[in-house]
A and B are shown apart, each in its own frame.
Chain A
Amino acid sequence: MAEIRNYTMNFGPQHPAAHGVLRLVLEMDGETVVRADPHVGLLHRATEKLAESKPFNQSIGYLDRLDYMSMMCNEHAYVRAIEELLGIEPPPRAQYIRTMFDELTRFSNHLLWIASCGIDLGAMTVFLYAFREREMVMDMYEAVSGARMHAAYYRPGGVYRDLPESIAPYKESRWTKGKDLKRRNEWREGSLLDFIEAFAKDVPSKIDEYETLLTNNRIWKQRTVGIGVVSPEKALQMGYSGVMLRGSGIEWDLRKKQPYAMYDQVDFDVPVGVGGDCYDRYLVRVEELRQSAKIILQCVDWLKKNPGHVMLKNFKVIPPTREEMKDDMEALIHHFKLFTEGYCVPAGETYCAVEAPKGEFGCYLVSDGANKPFRVHFRAPGFAHLSSMNELARGHMLADTVAIISTLDLVFGEVDR
Chain B
Amino acid sequence: MSEPTKAISELFASRFGERVKLGPMVGGIVSAEVEVESWLEVCRILRDEDEFGFEQLTDLCGVDYLSFGQSEWDTDDVSQEGFSRGVEGLGPGRFNWADRPEAAGVKQRFGVVVHLLSFRNNHRLRLRCFAPDEGMPIVPSLVEIWSSANWYEREAFDLFGIVFEGHPDLRRIMTDYGFTGHPFRKDFPLIGNVAVRYDPQKKRVVYEPVEIEPRVGVPRVLRDDSRYKADEVDQAAEATAGQIASDDAATGEQEDQNG
Which residues from chain A sit less than 8 Å from chain B, CB to CB?
A: 40-41, 44, 46, 48-50, 52-55, 58, 84-87, 236-239, 241, 250, 252, 257-258, 314, 316-317, 340-344, 346-353, 360, 362, 364, 366, 368-372, 374-375, 377, 379, 383-384, 386-388, 416-417
Contacts and interface: CB of A to CB of B under 8 A. Distances in A.
Contacts of B216: 53-54
Interface stretch (B34-42, B53-61, B200-208, B249-257): B53-61
B221 A387 contact: no
A366 B63 contact: yes
Contact of A384 (B148, B172, B173): B148
B58 A237 contact: no
B59 to A, nearest CB: 4
Nearest to A375: B63
Interface string B135-146: 000000000001
B228 A86 contact: yes
B5 to A, nearest CB: 12
B198 interface: no
B-side binding surface: helix, strand, loop or mixed?
Answer: loop
B225 to A, nearest CB: 9
A343 to B, nearest CB: 8
B137 to A, nearest CB: 15
Contacts of A388: 147-148
Please indicate which of the listed interface residues B113, B219, B228, B230 has the most CB atoms of chain A within 10 Å of its own CB. Answer: B228
B197 interface: no
A374 B66 CA distance: 10
Interface size class of B (residues with CB under 8 A): 35 or more
B100 interface: no
Interface stretch (B6-14, B22-30, B239-247): B22-30
Given A58-B218, A341-B218, 4 more contacts: A241-B58, A341-B219, A351-B29, A368-B68
Contacts of B27: 84, 350-352
Please indicate which of the listed interface residues B27, B31, B92, B223 has the most CB atoms of chain A within 10 Å of its own CB. Answer: B27
A371 B119 contact: no
A372 B218 contact: yes
Given A252-B119, A371-B221, A374-B68, A40 B29 contact: no
B193 to A, nearest CB: 13
Contacts of A314: 230
A54 to B, nearest CB: 7
B93 A379 contact: no
Given A85-B26, A344-B221, A239 B148 contact: yes
Please indicate which of the listed interface residues A49, A54, A86, A383 has the most CB atoms of chain B within 10 Å of its own CB. Answer: A49
Contacts of A387: 148, 150-151
Nearest to A241: B58
B223 A236 contact: no
B237 interface: no
Contacts of B221: 341, 344, 370-371
Contact of A53 (B29, B57, B173, B190): B190
A7 B158 CA distance: 29
Instruction: Kindly list the 3 A-B residue pairs having the minimum CB-CB distance in the complex, ordered from nearest.
Output: A239-B148, A387-B151, A53-B93
B145 to A, nearest CB: 10
Interface of B: 1, 24, 26-27, 29, 31, 55-59, 61, 63-64, 68-69, 71, 92-93, 113, 115, 119, 122, 124, 126, 146-148, 150-152, 155, 172-176, 183-184, 190, 216, 218-224, 227-228, 230
Nearest to A377: B61
Contact of A362 (B57, B58, B184): B58
Nearest to A84: B27
Nearest to A87: B228
A364 B156 CA distance: 14
Nearest to A343: B228
A379 B174 contact: no
A258 B122 contact: yes
A41 B172 CA distance: 9
A47 to B, nearest CB: 11
Given A44-B174, A86-B228, A341-B221, A257 B122 contact: yes
A314 B223 CA distance: 17
B57 A239 contact: yes
Given A252-B119, A374-B68, A236 B218 contact: no
A141 to B, nearest CB: 28
Nearest to B215: A53
